[in-house]
Amino acid sequence: MPDSHSALQGLSGHLGTGCAPFPFAEMKPPIDPQKETEFLQRIQAGILRDPNALPLGLALLNFDIRFLDLDEEIRVLRTEDCFYINRQSPFLNKPDIEGTVTFLLLHEICHVLFLHDKRRRGRDPELWLAATDYMINGLLDEFRSIFDPKMVPYQPRWIFSGEEPAHYNPEFKNLMEEEIYKLLCESANIDVSPPRDLSVKEMAALDMGRRRFIGRPQLVHSRIRYKKKDIKQTRLEIPSPEIDGMREGKGDFREEK
């Protein structure tokens, strides 16, 4: 098992890797190591079997992936050679635990491949983290249309809404992280309201992997301007799978007997 304190790259508070110090939370051993290992292996195998996701899957093979109990605000803790997924994160309370963890792993490996830690340089760490998250999440939203949903089963509509939504703004599509960072520095108000010409039923009927379910306005305070961090996103209510005809989530392996 890798040393949790060695070569620490950072931690993820918003589906990203920041530069905060190691969180000294109680780290309990897995409740059922075998079950969790099989669950993670199934996710990795699916990514590797999808030709379009194969490059990301191969990159993930360079890391051990494990569950750990950390402070609630942390989603993923990344060390030099391991991703620790926080069991206590409210982000895992979404309808499909397998899809959510799949998204987390794809998101984190993108941070690694895109060299976000090195590219930050002297930029504000919180805003750079937000900018890189927006870029990656927009990219993964686009990838949803080319990934096999049976192999790589995440649903953007659940990831970008509900409890603890991930950062997403369609206005940042096709922008580099540095460009998004500049926009975040220039304006504290980020309007990502849903299209007003669609009814709730129409939005529920959309294929959310291709027509994005946009979040609501957010407020970002940059340390550069305000000397403090306050990144907020309002929650967006989404219809249940029974209403919109989508398949139900695969459930929570933690509740299996």
Specify the residue for token string 């982000």: 91
The stretch 233-253 carries a mean pLDDT of: 43
42-53 pLDDT, tens per residue?
999 999 999 999
Query: pLDDT digit string (tens) for 139-184?
Result: 999 999 999 999 999 999 889 988 789 999 999 989 999 999 999 9
Letter string b/e over residues 183-213, b meaning 16 or more CB atoms within 10 A of that residue's CB = bbbeeeebebeeeeeeeeeebbbeebbeebb
Tokens 């190691």, located at residue? 22
Q: Which two structure tokens, joined as six digits, stand for 256?
A: 């299996």
**pLDDT, tens only, 75-96:** 999 999 999 999 999 999 888 8
Q: Which is it for the CA torsion 21, 27, 31, 34, positive or negative?
A: positive
Map out the domains of the chain as residue ranges. 10-246
The per-residue pLDDT for range 121-136, each reduced to its tens digit, is 988 888 899 999 999 9
- pTM (2 decimals)? 0.65
